[in-house]
């Protein structure tokens, strides 16, 4: 049963050091969860790097028993078992039963073949697991009206083959298996599923505070869940346009009381607006009759970018919300698969480079 995490990393440009290339592959498949101290990569990556480099990399076609691996690496049988379970679930190593018991070998007899098999398997599983989003995601072109923030996060996702049926909803199974609940999700905790349920049924970006209110989660926990979803290419951030007049109203009122109208027109940025709008807002502030509705009407013809600049210059921050990465389930699936394909392509290119050095 395939169970693997893919993490997008910068390519080891130009490196021809076999130990560095192997370490990069292991890191990109998240097979190194904790690091030790030492003067070499092998020391830092510990048992996993030692097993792969001293055994599977030394003879690509050789089958290794647990006892042989323990003898070569000096790792305890318990440690060998723990590492072999992880590396076998990732698809990098396969096991074969014969007359001498169970033996382990590099899948396909080379790193590039192993990664090719893993890639095909992982992509197929991802497509199967994500297919439920075609029906579960509410189609909403309105959700994508505002451009997403130009942010770049390294892609990261867990790919887990579908297991036996359980009492969980299929959407909850998906978001749990894809790692959105964290490495050690709490028993009977469905917060990550609740957050996803809100997002798939929303027709606009949803603010963090509203997600907290509707899901019952704390700011820290909901925030971490959203970051995992963003890293997987399923969620992105965009301005909550309806919130801007409210925040501009609050900032204008606060800055007027603290610094006056001259500051607002000058350094506050109101002077950049059309003259009639600027005068109307200042007049209402001086008469203490400014309302959110008036601010909203004044900003109606102002481009969104200029509204954001104004809010920033008067001491506010653009109100950002979270939304799915597409107007339809198909677009969300495509976004996730693009990130997965890009990450697998990088791992494949490094595996081919490593194989060429082992020939």
CA distance 133 to 310: 38
Residue 106: both structure tokens together: 């590099």
98 has pLDDT over 90: no
- Please state, rounded to an integer, the average pLDDT across all residues of the chain: 91
pLDDT of residue 101: 79
Report pLDDT digits (tens) over 307-349. 999 999 998 899 999 999 999 999 999 999 999 999 999 999 9
265, pLDDT greater than 80: yes
Give the mean model confidence (pLDDT) for residues 72-84.
92
- pLDDT in the model for residue 43: 55
pLDDT number for residue 182: 87
pLDDT at 283 exceeding the cut of 60: yes
pLDDT value of residue 179: 93
169 falls in which pLDDT band (50, 70, 90)?
confident
The candidate with the shortest Cα–Cα distance to 225, out of 203, 201, 206, 204, is: 206
pLDDT of residue 44: 62
Place of tokens 């969104």: 304
| pLDDT of amino acid 164 | 84
Least confident of 174-183, 204-213, 319-328: 174-183
Q: What is the pLDDT of residue 285?
A: 92
**Which tens digit of pLDDT belongs to each residue from 124-147?**
999 999 999 999 999 999 999 999
With vertex at residue 355, the alpha carbon angle to CA 349 and CA 359, rounded to the nearest 5 degrees, is: 150
Task: Quote the CA–CA distance of 306 and 324 in Å, as a whole number.
Answer: 25
3-state secondary structure of 171: helix
Which range among 39-48, 67-76, 277-286 shows the weakest confidence by mean pLDDT?
39-48
Q: Where do the DSSP E strands lie in the chain?
A: 3-7, 93-98, 101-106, 156-160, 206-207, 235-239, 320-324
Domains and CATH numbers, the chain: 3-121+342-358 (1.10.10.10), 138-240+320-327 (1.10.10.10), 242-313 (no CATH)
36-65 confidence digits (pLDDT tens): 555 556 556 678 999 999 999 999 999 999
Nearest 5°: phi and psi at 241? -60, -35
* Residues in contact with 168: Cβ distance below 8 Å, sequence separation at least 6, in sequence order: 176, 193
Percent of the chain with pLDDT over 90: 78
Write the pLDDT tens digit of every residue in 141-166: 999 999 999 998 999 999 999 888 77
Looking at residue 38, its pLDDT comes to: 54
């Amino acid at each position: 049963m395939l169970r693997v995490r893919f993490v997008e990393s910068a390519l080891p440009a130009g490196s021809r050091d076999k130990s560095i290339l192997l370490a990069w592959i292991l890191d990109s498949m998240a097979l190194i969860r904790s690091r030790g101290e030492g003067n070499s990569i092998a020391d830092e990556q510990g048992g996993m790097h030692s097993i792969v480099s001293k055994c599977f990399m030394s003879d690509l076609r050789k089958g290794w028993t647990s006892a042989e691996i323990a003898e070569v690496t000096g790792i305890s049988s318990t440690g060998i078992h723990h590492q072999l379970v992880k590396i076998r679930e990732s698809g990098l190593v396969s096991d074969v039963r014969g007359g001498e018991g169970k033996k382990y070998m590099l899948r396909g007899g080379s790193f590039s073949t192993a990664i090719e098999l893993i890639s095909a398997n992982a992509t197929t599983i991802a497509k199967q697991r994500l297919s439920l989003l075609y029906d579960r995601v509410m189609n909403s072109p309105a959700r994508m009206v505002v451009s997403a923030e130009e942010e770049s996060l390294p892609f990261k996702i867990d790919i887990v083959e579908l297991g036996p049926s359980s009492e969980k909803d299929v959407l909850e199974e998906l978001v749990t298996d894809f790692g959105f609940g964290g490495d050690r999700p709490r028993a009977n905790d469905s917060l990550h599923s609740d957050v996803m349920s809100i997002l798939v049924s929303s027709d606009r970006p949803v603010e963090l505070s509203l997600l907290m209110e509707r899901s019952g989660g704390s700011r820290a926990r909901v925030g971490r869940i959203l970051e995992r979803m963003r890293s997987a290419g399923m969620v992105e951030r965009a301005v909550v346009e309806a919130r801007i007049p409210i925040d501009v109203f609050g900032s204008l009122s606060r800055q007027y009381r603290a610094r006056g109208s001259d500051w607002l027109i000058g350094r506050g940025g109101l002077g950049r607006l059309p003259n009639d709008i600027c005068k109307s807002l200042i007049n209402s502030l001086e008469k203490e009759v400014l309302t959110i509705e008036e601010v909203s009407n004044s900003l109606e013809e102002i481009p969104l970018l200029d509204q954001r600049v104004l809010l920033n210059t008067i001491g506010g921050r653009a109100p950002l919300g979270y939304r799915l990465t597409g107007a339809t389930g198909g677009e969300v699936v495509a976004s996730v698969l693009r990130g997965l394909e890009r990450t697998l392509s990088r791992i494949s290119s490094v595996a081919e480079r490593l194989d060429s050095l082992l020939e």
